[in-house]
Amino acid sequence: MYIIESYSLAVVFTIVTMLCWGSWGNTQKLAAKNWRYELFYWDYVIGVVLLGLIVGLTLGSTGDQGRSFITDLGQVSSANIWSAILGGIIFNASNILLSASISIAGMAVAFPLGVGLALVLGVIINYMSSPKGDPMILFAGVALIMIAIIFNGIASGKMKKADKAASSKGIWLAIVAGILMSVFYRFVAAAMDVNNFESPTPGMATPYSAFFIFTLGMLASNFVFNTFIMNKPFVGVPVTYGQYFKGSFPTHMVGIIGGLIWGLGTVLSFMAAGKAGAAISYGLGQGATMVAALWGVFIWKEFKGGGRNVNLLLFLMFVLFISGLALIILSGGN
């Protein structure tokens, strides 16, 4: 299988992760013109599973180091299989709530609040489980990002919403999503031998097999979580599977592409964890909050008309996020 050989390359991969995790939400925004997010989400999950299979059969099956994808799948212990599946279930619950928040409050609110909170809590959880990097620099970066999240929340509160109740619901959904999202990575990382991808411990998974098993947890849980949300939506009337199957090919492809984008970012993050450590790999990837906020502010104009104070808060948010991410990168070099 292909293995990252250096910390600097691992950082590059996590930056790609950040771009992917922060950009997939655009596909939901595009589909939302004529497609409910509950229906979009089915295609999104299908895209994630397809990416897991494609990467496993390509990058996961080339090279002389480690174990090949199929071989590795066959030897993963039941405990590690369930750990990766549980990570998929937790993430899926979180991401459905995040998708609901995007549909209600927009990307520039849902991502900084939800994913930003996940970054802060997730770095702490993953560092406690697998310490790697200078803790002082690492957590200084996390602190700056936490302040950035607060500024985003204040800016959101200053915006006049036509439906304040719906906006408040979107914010709370993002917060719950962030708390859940902070713990999923730990379960997947626990299934992998992150300290030795070259000769992984028997019974433990490589990044490719762990990610694929994780996607199966997402898919299986989607029949429970998303079916429930389709029948009891947070906003609007219920939707049916009949409506899903009536969707056009281009509409379905938008969701699948969204899943492919997110899935690519995630498998790269798992691959980078071997050199960067789970805390740094996860933390840098969750810099997606800044990427999504950029999309929301400059492309989707979600803070249009906010005034000088809102613009200043958003500027400070971006500066703090960038500074925090820089410190997280530096922490891995110490």
User: What does the pLDDT read at residue 2?
Assistant: 93
pLDDT tens figures, 173-204? 999 999 999 999 999 999 999 888 888 899 99
- What value does the mean pLDDT of the chain take? 89
Q: For the chain, what percent of residues have pLDDT higher than 70? A: 97
Claim: this prediction has a pTM higher than 0.85: yes
Half-sphere exposure of residue 57: CA atoms within 13 angstroms, side-chain side = 6
Chain center to CA of 277: 17
**Euclidean distance between CA atoms 118 and 48, whole angstroms:** 20
pLDDT tens figures, 31-58? 988 899 999 999 999 999 999 999 999 9
Q: In this predicted model, which residue has the larger pLDDT, 218 or 123?
A: 218
Q: In this predicted model, which residue has the larger pLDDT, 19 or 157?
A: 19
Collapsed DSSP state (helix, strand, coil) of residue 181: helix
Residue found by looking up tokens 């969701």 in the block: 255
pLDDT tens figures, 51-78? 999 999 999 999 888 899 999 999 999 9
Q: For the chain, what percent of residues have pLDDT higher than 90? A: 55
- What spatial distance separates the first Cα and last Cα of the chain, rounded to whole Å? 28
Contact 101, 171 (CB under 8 A): yes
CA distances from 221 to 95, 175, 225, 270 (A): 12, 21, 6, 21
Greatest mean pLDDT among 34-48, 145-159, 303-317 lies in: 34-48
